[in-house]
Amino acid sequence: MSLRFVLAVLALATVLSAIGVVHARYRHRQLFIELSRLESARDELNIEFSRLQLEQATWAESNRIDQVARVRLGMKTPEPADIVVVRP
């Protein structure tokens, strides 16, 4: 083989290797940007989930349920005379 042929093959291999490195770095950057976007979305969803849990806890408080039962449904605690105990 001639020296020129070997040099040409080595030069071609170097160029192809460089193109491969550039492509790998470009793909890495794309994936990193996507990862950052997904992490940000995850964080937003976690914040929203925390808000919803707090809201659910607020709506489920016994004082709130008692207030809604009294105001909206007109319910009240029965008088002792109105309570009937049923035994089996």
63-84 confidence digits (pLDDT tens): 888 888 889 888 888 888 889 9
**Angle in degrees, CA 60, 44, 52, rounded to 5:** 5
Amino acid at site 87: R
43-64 confidence digits (pLDDT tens): 999 999 999 999 999 888 888 8
> Cβ(70)–Cβ(76) under 8 Å?
yes
Where do the H-state alpha helices sit in the chain? 3-59, 62-71
**Across residues 22-44, what is the average pLDDT?**
98
Q: What is the per-residue pLDDT for 27? A: 98
